[in-house]
Structure 1
Amino acid sequence: MKAPNRNLFAVREFLKDYLDLKKDKTNELETVESIRRGVEFKGANLWILIFAIFMASLGLNVNSTAVIIGAMLISPLMGPIMGIGLSVGLNDFELMKRSLKSLLITTAFSVATATFFFLISPFDQAQSELLARTSPTIYDVLIALFGGLAGVVAISTKEKGNVIAGVAIATALMPPLCTAGFGLATGNLVYFLGAFYLYFINCVFISLATFIGVRVMHFQRKEFVDKSRERTVHRSIVFIVLVTMCPAVYLTFNIIRSSLFERSAYKFITEQLSFDNTQILDKQIIHKGDSAEIKVILVGEDVPAASIALARHKLADYKLNRTRLTVMQGMNNAPVDMSSIRAMVMEDFYKSSEERLKEQQQKIASLETSLATYRAFDALGQKIIPELKVLYPSVKTLSISHTIETRVDSMRTDTITLAVMKFAKRPKEAEKTKISEWLKARVGAKRLRLIAE
């Protein structure tokens, strides 16, 4: 029993040595003070945020990812959100009040700035970058959580690096606020609620990650001389956390449920609604509360009703028991969403174009490699000719090439360097071998065949 215990101890020590956060941990007071400073939003900080919102809104308006990333790098939005997580971890009610106040102010200014921009902007069409910020998924939750953990670990270490900037980009706090402003400016409540929903989820999970990091790294919690005051503060913090977290937990649960439903629905469509000589023209997956429906439009040969009934029967195998399956065949059975069809055609065109482009790029790369090889041999031949004149004066011409040799009996191929040399006087075998070895070393070839003329 001693060996397993010794192995377990060795593994524990190894993990402790490599995963210990205390090694790089900076002064705790410096970390807390750094987050506290980031909480305040007055003067320059607020103006930077306003200009960053203008930049991000412009980037979303013209569909420029580079401009959006630049705006996120400038934005100081992370400060109040991390301040909330820190205040909960340290049991600091005053810091929580300041952080919440700053978060509300920054959110209000951000949405107001974005709304103003989109009201005066001549472009009112929703681009793909805007649409991407209106429907949060489980991935947004996970990105916010892990990004927040990376942020709090980075800010508590001596070498902070560029992690905070990376977290600001990954969690994408600004684009949802700009999209919310776009929703208000265009009167689209769905855009506003969806974008604000994403922003709220990001804020909650970054704060949660900060709280977890503060507790794991054992930051010193605030002590109160008056114990009754401490109990009051603790209850107030717990109440605020519950009020904030309960909607977030409920919304996150719905996100997870929707994500699982969509994954199962797409798998069902791929596996059960793929028929010979029939193509899926359009598909819609609707999941709102307890209402769930899969709509599919098929073109081509009509699929028998028995096959559709069998597919409908298999919904339960994909945990889609209460889902209604609607299959429409042909173009005359029901109104067709032409925008969806155009999107699918463009998607197929883009995919096929992308595949062709990759194939062409591979061919070009292969041809460039071959051309570079020929050029290299040509240049090398020109380079060694002066040496040949001195070492072997009887040489009249030299030709070096890279070729593939195929064995007739086994069809086995091999790469070989071929050197063809013309002599004024045919060399003896010993001299020919010597020249061959010199060429092999000079050219850097593994296999070289010398043909003497």
Structure 2
Amino acid sequence: MREIWMAVKRFLKERFSLRGDTDYEQNTIDAVRRGVMFKGVNLWTLIFATLIASIGLKVNSTAVIIGAMLISPLMGPILGVGLGTAQYDFPLIKKLFKNLLIATLFSIATSWLYFCLTPLAEAQSELLARTSPTIWDVLIALAGGIIGMVAVASREKGNPIAGVAIATALMPPLCTAGFGLAVGSVQYFAGALYLYIINSVMIALGTFRVAKLLKYPVVEVHTDKQRLTKRIIALVTVVIIAPSIFLAYRLVKNTVYEDSVNRFVATAFDLPDSQVLSKELSADPQGNKTLKVFVIGTPVDSS
């Protein structure tokens, strides 16, 4: 039995090992560090990617939004934060946070300016989708960070980075935050910014875990400082995740309730010579809910 277990263990280790496919450590580190500065070409690329994403969000075009996410250079400094943290390279982390802050401010400012000038003022579904992040966004971003770092560390980079850029959606939340500022909506601004923070932190965390797994060299720092860094990472992760769990619970609760309302309407108003035009569900400040159903055809008995 022990021999079987050892054979299975060797098989799994061989199959899941990343060592055979990874590039030289220094090549990976250099590749990540090259994409962290936001000036010149990178800054212009970011500004126009933000503009494209803002237009896509406003006209509700998924294809345009995906294109903007592929163009955006935002992924670089976030991967860099994860790698720098894994190496305890604090000067690099400081530099990365500075560049990430610059990129964030430029993106929000660009989208704010666009939405201030555009004549279209109504929020489309692509915009609204970025205002209520949940635990599922946390899981997507974490998985994206892991596969993103695995792709960067591999000899053959392949297509995962493009997929990560689309799945984790860093650019749309920033544009939605700019929209929130333009229309004066704290809900849109705060919700979108929270989604952006979730994505950024979880991508960095995924990168951190992969870099640790691959045993990248660390800068010589005191053990106490390393221990403090790990505690800060744990604390930030909990603080970031906690609200998303509550929002996910509320989303599931609302979805279940809306499904029950739809089933009730479909059953109760399945009448001959009558058709449901629309339904309206509202709630007062005390939480009492009212359902109004608008029907045409044969009069319905109120009982």
TM-score (norm 2): 0.86
Q: Which residue in the other structure is 2:273 paired with?
A: none
Q: Deviations over 1:255-292 (max 9, x none)?
A: 34324434554565577x56843379344699xxxx99
- Deviation (angstroms), 1:41: 1.3
Q: Aligned with 1:281: secondary structure?
A: strand
Q: Is the 8 A contact 1:265 1:285 kept in 2?
A: no
Select which of 181, 196, 208 maps to 2:205. Answer: 208
Select which of 54, 64, 69 maps to 1:57. Answer: 54
Select which of 253, 260, 273 maps to 1:261. Answer: 253
Select which of 223, 230, 237 maps to 1:245. Answer: 237
Q: Is the 8 A contact 2:135 2:245 kept in 1?
A: no
- Deviation (angstroms), 1:301: 5.3
Q: Which residue in the other structure is 1:70 paired with?
A: 67
Larger displacement relative to structure 2 (43-52 or 6-15): 6-15
1:278 matches 2:295 = no
Against the structure 1 CA distance between its residues 268 and 5, is the aligned structure 2 distance closer, same or farther, given a 3 Å change threshold?
farther
Q: Is the 8 A contact 2:57 2:126 kept in 1?
A: yes
Q: Which residue in the other structure is 1:393 paired with?
A: none
- Deviation (angstroms), 1:254: 2.1
Q: Aligned with 1:125: secondary structure?
A: coil
Q: Aligned with 1:63: secondary structure?
A: coil
Q: Which residue in the other structure is 2:275 paired with?
A: none
- Max radius of gyration: which structure? 1
Query: By percentage of residues, which structure has more helix?
Result: 2
- Deviation (angstroms), 1:253: 3.0
- Deviation (angstroms), 1:248: 0.4
Against the structure 1 CA distance between its residues 33 and 292, is the aligned structure 2 distance closer, same or farther, given a 3 Å change threshold?
farther
Give the aligned residue type for 1:281.
K
Give the aligned residue type for 2:237.
M
Q: Is the 8 A contact 2:130 2:176 kept in 1?
A: yes
Q: Which residue in the other structure is 1:223 paired with?
A: 220
For residues 14 and 283 of structure 2, the distance between their equivalents in structure 1, rounded to whole angstroms, comes to 49
Gap regions ≥5 residues in structure 1: 225-229, 304-453
For residues 247 and 143 of structure 2, the distance between their equivalents in structure 1, rounded to whole angstroms, comes to 17
Query: By percentage of residues, which structure has more strand?
Result: 1
- Deviation (angstroms), 1:172: 0.6
For residues 179 and 282 of structure 2, the distance between their equivalents in structure 1, rounded to whole angstroms, comes to 26
- Deviation (angstroms), 1:203: 0.8
Q: Is the 8 A contact 1:262 1:285 kept in 2?
A: no
Give the aligned residue type for 2:241.
V
- Deviation (angstroms), 1:38: 1.5
- Deviation (angstroms), 1:111: 0.2
1:47-446 equivalent positions in 2, closer than 5 A: 47-224=44-221, 230=222, 233-234=225-226, 237-238=229-230, 241=233, 244-262=236-254, 264-266=256-258, 269=261, 273=264, 276-278=267-269, 281-283=279-281, 293=287, 295=289, 297=291, 299=293, 302=302
Select which of 5, 23, 26 maps to 2:23. Answer: 26
Q: Aligned with 2:20: secondary structure?
A: coil
Against the structure 1 CA distance between its residues 162 and 277, is the aligned structure 2 distance closer, same or farther, given a 3 Å change threshold?
same
Q: Aligned with 2:215: secondary structure?
A: coil
Q: Is the 8 A contact 2:132 2:192 kept in 1?
A: yes
Q: Is the 8 A contact 1:84 1:99 kept in 2?
A: yes
Q: Aligned with 1:107: secondary structure?
A: helix
For residues 87 and 284 of structure 1, the distance between their equivalents in structure 2, rounded to whole angstroms, comes to 49
Q: Aligned with 2:157: secondary structure?
A: coil
Q: Aligned with 1:297: secondary structure?
A: strand
Against the structure 1 CA distance between its residues 7 and 254, is the aligned structure 2 distance closer, same or farther, given a 3 Å change threshold?
same
* Identity percentage of aligned residues: 47
Larger displacement relative to structure 2 (108-117 or 214-223): 214-223
- Deviation (angstroms), 1:124: 1.4
Give the aligned residue type for 2:279.
L
For residues 211 and 302 of structure 1, the distance between their equivalents in structure 2, rounded to whole angstroms, comes to 62
- Deviation (angstroms), 1:293: 4.8
Q: Which residue in the other structure is 1:428 paired with?
A: none
Q: Is the 8 A contact 2:86 2:208 kept in 1?
A: yes
For residues 227 and 8 of structure 2, the distance between their equivalents in structure 1, rounded to whole angstroms, comes to 41
Q: Is the 8 A contact 2:112 2:181 kept in 1?
A: yes
Larger displacement relative to structure 2 (40-49 or 231-240): 231-240
Q: Is the 8 A contact 1:135 1:194 kept in 2?
A: yes
Q: Is the 8 A contact 2:135 2:241 kept in 1?
A: no
Against the structure 1 CA distance between its residues 13 and 47, is the aligned structure 2 distance closer, same or farther, given a 3 Å change threshold?
same
Task: Name the structure, 1 or 2, with higher relative contact order (CA <8 Å, separation 6+).
Answer: 2
Against the structure 1 CA distance between its residues 243 and 10, is the aligned structure 2 distance closer, same or farther, given a 3 Å change threshold?
closer
For residues 286 and 138 of structure 2, the distance between their equivalents in structure 1, rounded to whole angstroms, comes to 23
Q: Cα RMSD between the aligned structures? A: 2.6
Gap regions ≥5 residues in structure 2: 271-277, 294-299
- Deviation (angstroms), 1:34: 1.1
